[in-house]
Structure 1
């Protein structure tokens, strides 16, 4: 615990007010316990209540719904930083997953004599490059050129100007830290903060099971989270089809939405084309309590994440949610999931292949003793290692090392 409160101006990519747990819970609820307040800066566009932030203040400037938001956001963020600075003394400027605004944050920190910190939860540059390559395959020359220029500029700005000027870099996983270290970033300048869960929410005892009659008499497995073609969500249907041949009463509940109506239509048509209407229940968007109600009716949770540079360095939440709820799980072998499965001994790890996932699910469905042991181990491991209360201690310890104490 610090002797005097700290105040961090935190520029984020997500809409304000925040809804992501790694912002809302970690910085809004947990960091104030360590005397660390947060002035959130970003663009409006969130659906959360405007009064849902207890960690400091929220400074929305501009809107993500503006058609020029991607161009104007660095200027809006600069204005937001001015507002945060006028509220009172700042101890650091921190930017998350923004590249141009990262440069703005570095310059502002230098001008104010403050440490600059960068929070990297996703390889944004590599995401831009993936989009560029996708457009190239589609033959869209002008769009490809525009995205190629954006990707090249972003790579230069982030890796040559933003990260070298950061006193410290928070990353999403140990795998991301190793990946950046291979690019020349000093490992000592990085702290891995993987995703976690809110222990108060993800308690099986507090979840009311769904009474949906479509689940009755079925061997239910569940996938919690977004669906998208970029996430290879069709793989879930491959697994369901493979399981149907061996376990005719299987029902895969996909409790989540797609980022667009087109993506949701694609998923529904894919279910129909495969003749899986009796074996896949696609709920669409649900309030969290309702989604968890479906989850606790399941015998197995699925967490397939495509391999590759974009996701190998990620830290998925859904596996942790399953374990916290006491749901035995099958996850594929991206580094963070493999680590969680190995350490917790509460699930099975398999390559992202339909037959491998099918066999792992059938192993859990056919071995109630193993499934019961996994269900018992998961919640205890998550409480010890991956709640935001635990992760807050790691973040606060990093700030203790890198930020000055005004009390001297």
Structure 2
């Protein structure tokens, strides 16, 4: 019996990969168990490092205006290139719909299992975009655009839920909440494994992070949001919280360490800060190198993780809360299922509904109670080390492959090398 596994892995994100749940999980952790992935997808990232865990087959570019149409054909070419390098033991597709169908058919031709990795409900995202456009549309041209959104959403729903997922031997999902959600749609819960977001323990070791030297933070009660800015994420909620806090904490400074997907989104956030007169209480950094962002993080007294409730985000597994805990930052998060689970298990933060008054009250409680904040800060890193590092998650994923692909891996998983 073979002691290694070769995966042909079609990914949605640009290559070379930047996301930790691809780069760290499959690039560093899986090879320790003899599991290697040939990545297939489109170019488009600025990552300088080569792929360390197998081949990388970038066909086409996500910067192309035709990428959404051509990517299934590009991915087929990528699969053929991967097949020439090494015969895969399975084909796995992540967050792609048409390419999911390509992957299933290719697996059938090769006589290997087909697996699917769902980190986000893509179809439901298309439906939200369709509905938002319908509310805004004006004129005949807008009507045609809305029809295109509606057609894409309907076709995608049919393909993923009727053709792709039913043919998957196993489905990796982002959270237990996502697994339960898919089970309610008729998919066997036993065919799913939840792999939540984690952190690289070495990277998020507070002792190795140099605090940033920024005089704007001196003498301030710093609270932090580390992550993406977007209207769809209701990022202006952070300004609601700031307005509520400054009434009782006049020296509060909300540090928003992150960028937006477009200049329009950043312009919107800056305009909101100015309109509310919060320039003295909000520091919007824009894009930062990761080590610099962590340098801001370790100067914060409280980390914030508000995630809008709803189909798209209720099944997610946000990284930022786990990052705060790993860095020993007491945190306030709202009650989406994965965050509530982390808060309850770790005992290192407070959970509050995503409403300005109760969320701000939870932040004030941590600012006003140094002993409680210190206890939370102490518990966080220990919880992450025992539950949410990629070393731990990697073991879970490797054990899953051993269970679902017994004909291709030994029954007993080798020790992590």
The two structures have a TM-score, normalised by structure 1, of: 0.98
1:402 deviates by 1.2
- Structure 1 residue 406, shift from structure 2 partner: 4.2
* 1:380 matched residue in structure 2: 382
What is the CA–CA distance in structure 1 between the aligned matches of 2:87 and 2:148, rounded to whole Å?
Answer: 40
Paired with 2:84 and 2:241, the residues of 1 have a C-alpha distance of: 55
Unpaired stretches in structure 1, ≥5 consecutive residues: none
Structure 1 position 89, deviation (Å): 2.0
* 1:285-296 aligned within 5 A: 285-296=287-298
Give the match for residue 20 of structure 1. Answer: 19
Superposed CA deviations along residues 178-214 of structure 1, whole A, max 9, x for unmatched, are 0000000000000000000010100100000011000
Tell me if structure 2 keeps the 8 A contact 1:91–1:404.
no
- In structure 2, the partner of 1:39 is 38
Could you give the per-residue CA deviations for residues 230-258 of structure 1, whole angstroms, max 9, x where no partner exists? 00000000000110111000000000001
Q: How does 1:169-180 map to 2 (within 5 A)?
A: 169-180=171-182
For residue 60 of structure 1, the aligned residue among 54, 58, 61 is 58
Q: Is the 8 A contact 1:4 1:405 kept in 2?
A: no
* Partner Cα separation in structure 1 for residue 387 and residue 39 of structure 2: 27
Matching residue of 1:8: 7
Distance 2:55 2:214 in 1: 41
Kept in 1: contact 2:308–2:354 (CA 8 A): yes
Cα distance in 2, alignment partners of residues 144 and 246 from structure 1:
46
Once the two structures are superposed, the pairs formed by residues 138-287 of structure 1 within 5 Å of their partners are 138-139=136-137, 140-287=142-289
What SS does structure 2 have at the residue aligned with 1:78? helix
* TM-score, with structure 2 as normaliser: 0.96
- Ranges in structure 2 where 5+ consecutive residues have no aligned partner: 411-417
**How many correspondences in the alignment?**
406
CA distance in 2, matches of 1:343, 1:177: 19
Deviation at 1:401, TM superposition (A): 1.0
Alignment root-mean-square deviation, CA: 1.0
Give distance in 1, aligned partners of 2:409 and 2:178.
34
Q: Deviations over 1:268-303 (max 9, x none)?
A: 010000000000000000000000000000000000
Change (3 A) 1:384 1:407: closer
Residue 12 of structure 1 deviates from its aligned partner by 0.3
2:117 partner SS: strand
Alpha-carbon separation, structure 2, partners of 1:308 and 1:277? 31
